[in-house]
Structures are given as C-alpha cells and as structure tokens.
Structure 1
Amino acid sequence: MNHEDPIIDPLLEELLGQQQMPDLTARVVQAHQQRQAAKQSPKQNGQAKAPLSIAVSTATQTTSPETPSVESQSTSGVAATDAPTKRSGEFKRRLKRQRFFTAISSLSLSLCLLVMLGGVAYYTYQRFLPGQGIPLAADGNQKPSSGARDHEVKPDVDPQLADHNVPSNEAIVRNGSSVDDLVSPETVASNDAPSSGMSPAVGGMQNGGEIESVDQVAIADKSAPSYVKPRMWDSLRLDDRDVISEIDNAIANAWKSENVKPSPAATDNEFCRRTYLQLLGRIPTVEEIESYAKHRSKDKRTWLVDEILGNEKYKQEFASFWSARFANILVGRAGGMSDDSPIDRSALEGYLATAFEKNKPYNLLVKELITATGTTSPGSESFNPATNFLVSMVDGDAKLATAKTCSTFLGQQLQCAECHNHPTTGWNQDQFWSMNAFFRQTKLAKDRDSGKLAILDRDFVKNQASDAGEVYYEQPNGLVKVAYPQFVDGTKIPASGKVAEVDRRQELAQLIVNSDDFPKATVNRMWQHFFGVGFTQPVDDMGPHNPASHPELLDNLAVHFAESGFDMKRLMRWIVLSEPYALSSRQIDDNLADDPDAGQQLFARYYARQMEAEQLFHSLQMLAKNPGRGSAIIASSDERHTWLGQVNQKMGDDEDSETSTLDGGVTQSLLMMNGGLMRQATDAQAAVLKNVIASNMSPSDKVEHLFLAALSRRPTKKELNAISEILKSRSSEAAALQDIWWALLNSNEFILDH
C-alpha cells in the first residue's frame, strides 16, 4: 500500500508497542481539521504541507500515555507539520511491522472475497443453468411463476408430507373443520421449520418428513367447482342376446380369417366347473353339479349363469370373491398382509364386497376410490375404506399413484415415461408428470387414536407469487420443464393448486370415467379373467404399440358396457354365455395356430391354466367345511389372508410388484402335499370325506362321489377298476378312501381350470 491510514496506522503502532489505546474520536476530529486547513492553505512558509497520515503519526509519538484533549492533539499535530519529523529506529521497525500486518490483512481479505465469489458463482450455476431448478422451457402456453423454484428437483425429503410450501395458518375446510382445529401446535410449528427427518414405521412407505398427527381426520367436502362434466352415454338399445351374438360373430370371423376351427363344446360338467370357478371362485359341490346336469331347460347354460348371478343364496359369496379379486387388482395380493402395512385389507375388501353385492356402477366405484379422503382405521369418525387404494402410493411425489391409476383404470403403462420419453409406446415425460400433477394436492396424516394413516386434500402452491401448483421435472439432457394438470388425451383443467378453486383428484376421476379407454380397459381386464388371456397382453399395456387381437370387438363391448351403466354383472353375463367360453380346452389339429403364448389369441378353445390362489383356497376350504345342501359357502376372509400371506410377498421395487410361491415349482408342490389347508381338506373329519365314509353308498359310488367332488367328473372305467383293486387289497376302507381323496386333490387335474 502506498499511503498510510491516519486511523488504522497509529492504532497498529500503539497496539504493537503495547501502548494505551488511542482516542479515535479525537483523531478523527484532528484529521478533519487538517484536511480543512490543507484546502485553505496549500503551502505554509513556502513548504508543502506534510501528509495527513504523517501529522497523525507525529501526534501519536508526542502524545503522553494519558488520553489527551482534542485541542492539545491538534496543536501538537500542526506543530509537527512545520518541521521535518525525525523518525527513530524504533518507529521504523514499528512501521515495518505495521505494513507487514497490513499486507497480511489485505491478503486475508482477498482470500475471503475469492471464497465468497466462488459461492456466488456456484449458487448461480445451480439456480440458472439447465437442470438446476429454474425452468428454461415451459410446456404449452403457460409459463412458470416468477421466482418459482422446484424443491423436488433435488433429492426430496418429502414435500408432500412435510408440506413446507403451505402456510401453517392455512385453513383447509373439511366438514367444517380446519387444519388449525385438528393439528397440534407442535405440528403446526413444524410446517414452517425444516423437516426433522423422522420416518414413521409404516411398511413400504418412504417418508423422509414427519407425518402430522391429527385427533380426528375429517373427510373432505368436495366443494370446489367441477370443470369436467360427466359424460352422457347413450342407453344400450341391444338386449343381452344381441350383444352375445355380436361376440360370437366377431370371434367366428377371426377364426375364418385365420383358417382355424374351434374345438368341440365343453361337457356339462366342464362348463359347470369353470363357471363356478370364474364367478364364485371355487369348484362346485356334487349337489350343484348334479342339479345342473338334471336341469331340463332348453338353454341350461343361461339358467346356471343367471342362478349364480341372481340367486340370493349366492349374493354374499359372489361379493366376497370379487372383493378379493379386485383388492388384488388395486393393492396386490400382498398389500395389507403384513403388520406394518398402511393398508387395512379387511376394510378394503368389505367396502368392495358391499359394492359388488349391490352391483354398484363401476364408474361410481372408481370415482370413490380416486377421490377418497379420510382415515383407513375402522371405528374412526372419518373412516373411509376407499382410502386404502391410494394410502400406500401417495407418499413422496405420488409417482406410484400416478402409474397405478393409469395402468388399473386406463390400461396404460406410463411409469417408464417418468424418466424419459418411451421409445415404443409413444408416451412422453410431459404426459407422465402432467398426470402426476393431479395428485399433488393429496397428503398423508396419521390418526392419533389408531395410528393409521389418512388421506387429506391440501393446497399445492409452489410460491406466493402465483396460485398455480406447477410440477417440475428434469429431462435426460438436464433441462428442467414444468407441467400442469393435463389428462393423457390433452384435456387441461385450471392450473390453480388451491383445493377450494380446483379439486384435482375430483377432476381426474371424472376425466378417467369419461375416457374411451376406461370401459375398454375394464372389458379387456374382465375378458382376461374369464379366458386367461386378454385382447392385449398384458391387459394394462394397451395402445398402438400393442394392438388388440380383436380391436372392433373390444371397442364395441366397451361402448355396450358404458351404455349399460357400467354394469359389471351384465358384462360378466355376456362373456360367460358366449360361444368361445363354452368350448372344450382340448386343442385340435385345426386350431394349432391358436397360440396365446406366441401372441396369437384366437379363442378357438378354452385356455386351460392353473387356478388362481384365491380359487384354490376357496375350493380347498369348501371341501373341508362344506356346510351342506342349499347353504351358502362363504370363505373366511381372515383365513384367506393368512394363507395368501404365506404364498405372496412384495418385491419392494418401484413398481410395487409381487412374487408368489404358486408358480408350479417345488414350493408349490410341498405346499399342496403338506400344507395346513391341504391337511384340513384331506383330514378324516373333513366335510366331504367324512360324509362319504359314513354313508351307505357302495364302494364304487363312494369313489364316484369323491371324483365328482374333486374333479367335477365321474371316473373312467379304467380308473374305477384300478381303484376297486386298491380297495379290495386294503383292510380299512376308510384309510383307503382317504388316500384316494388325497391323491385326487394333489393331481394336476384338480389344480387346473380347464
């Protein structure tokens, strides 16, 4: 430095010389006076005036240790400027030390400035360069709000649960209650503070933030205006026979086009067995088989189907099976089976059973599942069993809820488009994240009394400059883009994230049931249930990349289903009474081209396949606990859950997939031969076996009864002769019959749906 500071220099000198701290106020006044004097008289006595710093330095040297007055310092300073100052060696050394420390201070300050500039440069890079938060491109005509920043671009602690974007005093009305009435003061305070990182013990959930606890979680009032109006479908003008004929003609045309011939018709016993399996989830009893065989109606198949779908004695059993079937579709077979699962499977199945028992229109059921709010805990004031569909999938940024909703209700697999545009399906990232935006008002809370989770609707506003709840996502090239709620067909809704202005899930539910894909996906899934193969494989991956085997039939059935008022029982009746459903499962030379494994499903025969886990359980339990003629056979849901929990488990991946031990391997064989359920069915006190052993029937009649009970057919002459020889060689008929019964239930024929 080329100049000396009139304040700092003397201070350093006196500090280094261990002198008393100078009076800086006096020196500032002195320096000011000297500057004013210099302006008025540039030269005194023909000499240039000494620099101000030298004057102050001289004054410092001549000042006593005691604090001098301002006037005395000023006088001595002026006097010092009249004569050259003779600096002592000690003063020079002090001055050198002063300059050395000044240089060190300057260097330190420079380093600090460099660090600060580096931090500013890094912050600017993170904030403004591609992929770091501020969108450089917005989709559509809407632009991101000023100053908007997507906190979800970074590894997300869990903004959905912690909900730091919502003011703590925000009033969210649900049945007249606000969050302020429900949330504890500690929880309210935590909404404005950084997340504590608590992770509640909820199976399968990845909650980085603390879930608020509430005393009573009220079900939200859907008070927001509706922007998507319900679609008005025409009434179905065709009767059931016309629709069934349409199915038969479409399938027959495909046979003709592919030059194949159908297999012969199934026998009465085969048709009876598969129909009970598909509609009630179990094989028929001997009494039911004989009743069907003796029926003299011109069209006994129609009578049987109407009996199962319409008779009061089957209503609860029908509802129980289909509730389990659809619970598998919604949450998987393993969903709700473990103690730490947030899903109450019994409550979900009970809710679905009521819907199927009343034959609730399927579109209304789906709307309830998508828009549900409340707690999953039975007995709670705000208990809503429909919340069990989404409760395990809306944590974090609801990506799993987005993918599951699209695949289940629209037959579209969008999950791959989360990270990149799909190369074959045509789905892109913007479609995925635009669908994801519909779920961003959905939050989780925990009921204090039960500890169960609940679903709430909360405002989703990214910043105070705008009400738009935009979602940001990063493309593979690092560019960050913004998405607003937009359905897969391009239909948009207002962008506001405030629940009182736009209820996004309500709009999404209406968009789904209005869509042409909704009835099409439902028909495809139901067709797959009855035939083992859908019009597309898999059934939840429809689109141009995966064309349907019978596109016109699929489209027509979808329209008929919608026009019927989304009547599930009526759809089942159409499929079960069609000609391809009544064909034998035996393949003939003329339909070898019908190969669903090769993607060529022509339905020229009934495709034999292994029973589903629920069908196997219901059948074995019925054989063990058959209550007798004319009584309903209701499978125990608790026992079913226990058994299914042993054979199914979650994989723990991003797609919520599962694995099952019922895969035809060694584990399945051991389970069938030695499992507890098989022991119940083959025990000497089991219902069917006990009644046969105690009856007055002849040995051959007893064997015939066991064949009908297990395989829904009578034994062949060869089988009957072989078994008669076994009975003659055994000293105990009861023990021999028990062995025969065990062999029948462990045969491949028993476990097949054929």
Structure 2
Amino acid sequence: MSHEDPIIDPLLEELLGQQQMPDLTARIVRAHQQRQAAISQQAHNNSQLAHNGSPHTHAGKPTNGQTKAPLSISVSAAAQNGASSASVDLPAEESPVKRSGQFKRRLKRQRFFTAIGSLSLSLCLLVMLGGVAYYTYQRFLPGQGIPLAADGTQKPSSGARDTDAKPEASPQLANDNVPPSEVIVRNESPAPEASPAMPQMPREIESVDHVAVAEKSAPNFVPPRVRDSLKLADDEVIREIDDAIATVWKSEQVKPSPVATDNEFCRRTYLQLLGRIPTVEEIESYVKHRGKNKRSWLVDEILGNEKYQAEFASFWSARFANILVGRAGGMSDDSPIDRSALEDYLANAFQKNTPYNVLVQDLITATGTTSPGSESFNPATNFLVSMIDGDAKLATAKTCSTFLGQQLQCAECHNHPTSGWNQEQFWSMNAFFRQTKLAKDRESGKLAILERDFVKNQASDAGEVYYEQPNGLVKVAYPQFVDGTKIPPSGKINEVDRRQELAQLIVNSDDFPKATVNRMWQHFFGVGFTQPVDDMGPHNPASHPELLDNLAVHFAESGFDMKRLMRWIVLSEPYALSSRQIDDNLADDPDAGQQLFARYYARQMEAEQLFHSLQMLAKNRGRGNAIIASNDDRHTWLGQINQKMGDDEDSESSTLDGGVTQSLLMMNGGLMRQATDAQSAVLKNVIASKMSPADKVEHLFLAALSRRPTKKELNAIGEILKSRSNEATALQDIWWALLNSNEFILDH
C-alpha cells in the first residue's frame, strides 16, 4: 500500500511543477498534532480491544509484515475513523487524500515531459559529440573513420586500418623487388591527400624574392649503370636489322616491295632528317653521285656536314619539344611554357649531339626559372613546369610514357585490367615528384621550379603519399621505381633528392633505350614496333621483339648516340623500299596491327615538315645551303592548327586531319599564298630563267614532288601553256596545283 507524504510530496510538487516553495511550518505543526491525536486514539482503541479480548496490534509494530511511515500514521488512523480531514483541520484542497488522484496525474505528466526533454537533450549532445569526434578523426588521425581494409567481397568496416606493415628503417636499393601487396600505413600519419576522384582546388602560386638554382647536395643512392661499349660497327648493326626483318618476311610468307628510286629515297631522307623536302640542287647532286654507296654518302652528308647542323638541330628540337610538351604546349599567351627557350635548349643539345641519357637527366632534375630574365634561368624546366602543380599526377604519367614507354595514368585510380600496372606503382612513382614545387620569381616574374622538403609527419622525416583505392581503402606510398627499386623514404631534400634518384633510375632501366628506339623507329617508318609507341608491355607485344631488344642494347652501348641510331634505321633495307604495295605483301597491314615493314608506309607529312617545306619554297635560302625555319614563324603557323584538349592526359587536336579545314589551309592559307606568289623563291627564279617551257615545268615538278614529270603529264601541261597568252600566270597556276596535290603532302 502506497502512502502520501505531507512533507516529501509538496517538495516534489515544487521541484517538478516549478512552483514556489510553500510555507510548511503550519503544516508540520498540524501534522504533528494529528500524529499525537492518532497515537492517543490508537492507544485508546487498543485498550478497549484488550479489555474485550479482541485481537490487536501495537503501534509501531509490524502489521502484515509492513511498517507504516511515522508521518503517515495520522492519515491511516483518520481513515480508519472516517474523520481524517476534521481531525487535522486542513483545507479540502490541501488534503492528501482528496488531491492524491489529481497530483498523481500531474506528477506523471511532469515526469513524462521531463523524460522527453532529457532524452532530446541527450540526443543533441550525442550528435554534437559525434561530429566533434568525426572531425577530430579526419583532421588529426587519417585513416580513422575511413574503410581501410576489405577483402573485396564484404563492405569494409568504418574504422578498419591496415597497420601490419611498417616502413623500413634503411633503404633497399639495386634490384630489391617489393611485392605489390606490401602496404605501409602509419598510425601517426597526417591527413591523406585528396582522392584522385576528388579534384583539388587550384592553389595560388607563391612568389619568392629570388629563385636560385638548387645545388645538388644530397648523396646519390642509385649509382650510374655501367654498360659495355658497342663492339659492332654500324654496318653490322644495320645487317642485324635487315636479317631480323627478313626473317619475319619469310615466316609470314611475304615479299618486300621493290627498292625505292633515288628521287624517292632522297625526298624521304631529307623529310625525316631535316624536316623538309630537298631542293632541286640537292636532288640532282644525289642522283648524279657516283660513289660506291650513295645512300650512305647522303645520310653522312646530312648528319655530318657542318652546313646542315643548324637546320638539323632546329628540326629535331621542334620534334622533341612536341614529344615533351606537345605541339600546342607554349603556344598560348597564358601557357607557363616558354617554347622558344625550350627549343633553343634542345637545338643546342642536338647540335652538340649530347648523349640522350644526359639530356633526359637534365630535363627531369631541372630547377630554376623557365625563361630568360633571371639569374636562375634554366630552359630545361619548361618540360615539367606545366605538369607539377598540385599533386604532379600529369608529371608522373608524362615521364613514364615519354621515357619508359609505359602508360601508368590509368593506374592512378584503379589497377589496370590489362597492362598489369597497379595503383601502388603509380603513386610510388608519383612520390618522386613531391619535393618539386612551383613558385614565381618576383625579380623576373617568371615561373620557377623549386625543390623543398616534403615531410608529412612531424614524428618522421619520411614523406609519404596517400591514395585511395576504389573500395575506399586508403594506402600509403613511398618512392619506388616501377621495377621495385626503392630509395630512402626521407622527404628532406638535403638527405634524398628524389628527382635526382628518379632520373638515374630511368636512364639505368632497360625500358629507357627500348622506348627511345621504338619512338625513333616510329618517326622514320610511321609505325613503331608497338602501337602506340608509349604503351609497351606484355599486353601490347612488339612486332619484332628480338630486334627491338637488340637495337636498345646497341643504342645504350653506343653512349645513347642519337645520330648513330638514326643512321642505322635510315640505312636499313626496309627504309629503302618503295611505298607501292604489291600482291606478295598484302598481309603487311599496320592498320590491322600487322606491321611487317615489307614496304615504306606512305603517310601525310607532319605539321613541321609541311611548314618547313612551304617556307623553303617561299623564301630565298640563307647562307650556303642551310634553310633554317624561323621559330617564331613556325610557332605562329602551328598555333593555328593545334590546340590543347584540356583533359587529364594533356591531349591535343589538329586540323591537319585530311578534312575541310586542312583543304582550306592548303589552298588559301597565308603560307601557301607566300609559296605560290610570283615573287616566291622558286617561282620567281623559274619565270626569270632562260629555260625552255618544258624545262621550267620539269624544274617545278622536281621542286614540289622531287621527281620529273611523266611524258603524259608533260604533254598535258604543254597544251595548257600553248593555250595561255601569259606564260608566267600559267606557270603560277601549275605551281599552285602541284603544291595542292596529294602527292606533295605525302611522305612516300
């Protein structure tokens, strides 16, 4: 049985009902009087019952196993006598019995709303605490709260981490291969880098008072590779090429096309080595040569004669600038690339025949400003300047594709399904570029490449790179070459110069000379041993793997001599074949991935070759036989036909695609108007000469197509000349028709 308490209940009512504290003094006095009266009444009743012999209980003793509260005795006694309210003389509304039901209901309501309020407040506090905890985890403890372990079949838990593997205390060098599954994660690591799928906001490039070229003070951990010297003569290497190609012809049951004519060989050789068609004088000089091997004489003349050195260097500087930064790189005013400075630097290297491995090391390790105007000017910085901002993903992909023939960009976000490259390899290569920063020299206003410490964790000098796998697993990578070779993980520039080590690893690699040979073969034949040339590997096998491997070894043993490599290819038997396909080599189809090199593959001139050729025909030659194209003029013309696509792979588009734009450019473009103007170099000399009309036509054919006209062509043009009253105008029209013919624009 529950009892109301006249003292405790008002206190609860005040506490839960938010009422003012009542004056309890009078109530306590009356309650005391009530209790005394009840005790007296109970004693009286007991005495009567005892006198009558009836059962009784004593006050304060247990009744049915329970003891009544002392302050409630008066209430019980009053209830038994039916006069509790009168005996205590309390107002009706303050009587515990009368107000018990109402008070209970009100008390229940108050307790219900109090519980609801407390629960709501608790939930709010929990949400706030959870948000603070989540922010703390994301800000200070990377990996916490992010799925870091999953078996690929179950959803990873929100707090899982891979902490089994630890970074090595000492570097593993040479051929120390690391299993792809090995993962290094630090418990104390800083926040992870932005995911590849989450683009970073472009950051503002800082300005520095003076940018100095960094002196390489860090020790070298990757020693230069010692290679044997080439013991074979050039003729022996060329014979190897011929034998390897002939072996494939035999196995594929094809026969080579006939040998090209002298005029055809001369034209293609000038196009490929100097980037322009030959002059009439150069063609006639080659055709009339009576030496034992006139092809060797021509190639040695172009590669070795001083009169061609500047022109050779100019063309190949433009060619390699395309490889390094693209045709559109540095063409726009807002580009960070100074293309002229880059081409001048490359031209100087080709003119001196600088070993290719030395050139590549300079390009990869360059620091300083990109353009003339400051003390730290270094033109080699133009290779990386547009690709290292942010997390250097583009620099990673471009370096691998250009110098190793490997396309790693797909492995940035996921393991490549066919090539075998995985994310760990991409981000381990990316770690080599993380000491590289962009800045702006306040003195010259030019962009500069700097090297700074890359330390992500104050507890360690190791500069780790974080990346996220498709399943949400966050991994960490340290500098590691694609073949598994590691360098020390320190991000301190005075302890480990990562780009310096990367450059040495690249030129030490077997893939480096192989990628170079493949790219150069593609230049001279139009098709490499692999298609494309920068995607070599088991997923894309070479058409002539043994030949590619042998040429790569010979090239490396030659001291990476680019001119010798060019000579081997140009003097090989397949290069000297006609471009005319015969019935016996119909299986030779590079478009179907079956490149057998049983004929010379005809293709459209490259943009630089077309420009140089038209410019030569439009302008008078300079001193001697050298015809050097102006870099500024070339940039202006190429800027009209090439543009950046603005994608992640830095790809480009060109209007020289055989379409309407190309036709309009050829027929009515400014350079074509210069070449076909009556005052142009070739046309002016022909019109002013005392040659016969037939000889004039023959000279124009040689100048444009590097061949003499056929008898049928000569007769048809003779009829045109007879029908025209103005010979100069007729010759100008003929000249325009020759330069707009398909034969002129083809390299065949």
TM-score over 0.5 for the alignment? yes
Aligned residue among 136, 143, 147 for 2:162: 136
Aligned residue among 276, 283, 294 for 2:270: 276
* Per-residue CA distance 1:509-548 (angstroms, 9 max, x = gap): 1000000000000000000000000011110010111111
CA contact (8 A) 2:452 2:493 kept: yes
2:131 counterpart residue number? 119
CA contact (8 A) 1:214 1:445 kept: yes
Distance in 2 (CA, whole Å) between partners of 1:149 and 1:140 is: 22
Q: How far 1:355 moved relative to its partner?
A: 0.4
**2:353 partner letter:** N
1:35 counterpart residue number? none
1:198 counterpart residue number? none
1:504 counterpart residue number? 498
Aligned residue among 218, 238, 241 for 1:244: 238
Distance in 1 (CA, whole Å) between partners of 2:429 and 2:160 is: 21
Q: How far 1:436 moved relative to its partner?
A: 0.9
2:741 counterpart residue number? 747
Aligned residue among 190, 211, 228 for 1:149: 190
2:428 counterpart residue number? 434
Give secondary structure in 2 for the equivalent of 1:649. Answer: strand
Q: How far 1:146 moved relative to its partner?
A: 3.1
Q: How far 1:150 moved relative to its partner?
A: 3.5
C-alpha change, 1:225 and 1:249, in structure 2 (3 Å) is: same
C-alpha change, 1:99 and 1:428, in structure 2 (3 Å) is: closer
Mapping for residues 135-214 of structure 1, pairs under 5 Å:
136=162, 143-153=184-194, 208-214=202-208
Higher mean displacement: 361-370 or 375-384: 375-384
* Per-residue CA distance 1:434-487 (angstroms, 9 max, x = gap): 111111111111122343321111111111111111112111111111211111
1:332 counterpart residue number? 326
2:173 counterpart residue number? none
Q: How far 1:419 moved relative to its partner?
A: 1.2
Distance in 2 (CA, whole Å) between partners of 1:669 and 1:373 is: 43
Mapping for residues 538-557 of structure 1, pairs under 5 Å:
538-557=532-551
CA contact (8 A) 1:157 1:209 kept: no
Distance in 1 (CA, whole Å) between partners of 2:237 and 2:512 is: 19
Q: How far 1:122 moved relative to its partner?
A: 4.4
Give secondary structure in 1 for the equivalent of 2:144. Answer: helix
Which ranges in structure 2 are unaligned for 5 or more consecutive residues? Answer: 22-68, 72-90, 100-105, 149-157, 166-179
* Per-residue CA distance 1:343-368 (angstroms, 9 max, x = gap): 11111111100000000000000001
Residue 388 in structure 1 maps to residue 400 in structure 2: no
Distance in 2 (CA, whole Å) between partners of 1:240 and 1:127 is: 62
Q: How far 1:498 moved relative to its partner?
A: 1.1
**2:678 partner letter:** A
C-alpha change, 1:691 and 1:134, in structure 2 (3 Å) is: farther
1:263 counterpart residue number? 257
Give secondary structure in 1 for the equivalent of 2:639. Answer: helix
Distance in 2 (CA, whole Å) between partners of 1:408 and 1:433 is: 18
Distance in 1 (CA, whole Å) between partners of 2:386 and 2:380 is: 12
* Per-residue CA distance 1:648-675 (angstroms, 9 max, x = gap): 0111111111010000011100110011
1:193 counterpart residue number? none
Aligned residue among 720, 727, 734 for 1:733: 727
Q: How far 1:136 moved relative to its partner?
A: 2.3
CA contact (8 A) 1:134 1:150 kept: no
C-alpha change, 1:535 and 1:154, in structure 2 (3 Å) is: closer
CA contact (8 A) 1:594 1:600 kept: yes
CA contact (8 A) 2:16 2:110 kept: yes
Distance in 2 (CA, whole Å) between partners of 1:497 and 1:624 is: 55
CA contact (8 A) 2:373 2:444 kept: no
Q: How far 1:707 moved relative to its partner?
A: 0.3
Q: How far 1:141 moved relative to its partner?
A: 6.1
CA contact (8 A) 2:391 2:434 kept: yes
2:122 counterpart residue number? 110
C-alpha change, 1:629 and 1:385, in structure 2 (3 Å) is: closer
* Per-residue CA distance 1:705-750 (angstroms, 9 max, x = gap): 0000000000001100110110111110000000000000000000
2:691 counterpart residue number? 697
Aligned residue among 411, 428, 440 for 1:446: 440
**1:739 partner letter:** D
**1:362 partner letter:** Y
Q: How far 1:242 moved relative to its partner?
A: 0.7
CA contact (8 A) 1:649 1:659 kept: yes
2:400 counterpart residue number? 406
CA contact (8 A) 1:348 1:385 kept: yes
Aligned residue among 588, 599, 610 for 1:605: 599
Distance in 2 (CA, whole Å) between partners of 1:115 and 1:751 is: 72
Distance in 1 (CA, whole Å) between partners of 2:222 and 2:522 is: 31
**1:127 partner letter:** Q
Aligned residue among 334, 348, 357 for 1:363: 357
Give secondary structure in 2 for the equivalent of 1:445. Answer: strand
Distance in 1 (CA, whole Å) between partners of 2:437 and 2:379 is: 16
Paired residues in the alignment total 647
Residue 309 in structure 1 maps to residue 303 in structure 2: yes
Aligned-residue identity in percent: 84
CA contact (8 A) 1:336 1:344 kept: yes
Q: How far 1:216 moved relative to its partner?
A: 1.8
CA contact (8 A) 2:183 2:475 kept: no
Aligned residue among 611, 619, 637 for 1:617: 611
CA contact (8 A) 2:524 2:570 kept: yes
- Normalising by structure 1, report the TM-score: 0.80
Residue 594 in structure 1 maps to residue 635 in structure 2: no
- Normalising by structure 2, report the TM-score: 0.81
Residue 235 in structure 1 maps to residue 229 in structure 2: yes
Q: How far 1:388 moved relative to its partner?
A: 0.8
CA contact (8 A) 2:364 2:499 kept: yes
* Per-residue CA distance 1:220-265 (angstroms, 9 max, x = gap): 1111111100000100001111111111111111111111111111
**2:162 partner letter:** L
Aligned residue among 486, 489, 492 for 1:492: 486
Distance in 2 (CA, whole Å) between partners of 1:360 and 1:469 is: 34
1:563 counterpart residue number? 557
Higher mean displacement: 313-322 or 133-142: 133-142
CA contact (8 A) 1:133 1:153 kept: no
Give secondary structure in 1 for the equivalent of 2:653. Answer: strand
CA contact (8 A) 2:328 2:652 kept: yes
Give secondary structure in 2 for the equivalent of 1:340. Answer: coil
C-alpha change, 1:12 and 1:485, in structure 2 (3 Å) is: same
Distance in 2 (CA, whole Å) between partners of 1:280 and 1:598 is: 30
2:46 counterpart residue number? none
Distance in 1 (CA, whole Å) between partners of 2:609 and 2:746 is: 10
Distance in 1 (CA, whole Å) between partners of 2:316 and 2:236 is: 26
CA contact (8 A) 1:263 1:591 kept: yes
Give secondary structure in 2 for the equivalent of 1:606. Answer: coil
**1:115 partner letter:** V
Distance in 2 (CA, whole Å) between partners of 1:586 and 1:284 is: 21
Distance in 1 (CA, whole Å) between partners of 2:560 and 2:15 is: 91
Q: How far 1:149 moved relative to its partner?
A: 3.1
Distance in 2 (CA, whole Å) between partners of 1:354 and 1:421 is: 41
Distance in 1 (CA, whole Å) between partners of 2:252 and 2:196 is: 54
Residue 662 in structure 1 maps to residue 656 in structure 2: yes
1:34 counterpart residue number? none
Distance in 2 (CA, whole Å) between partners of 1:583 and 1:537 is: 22
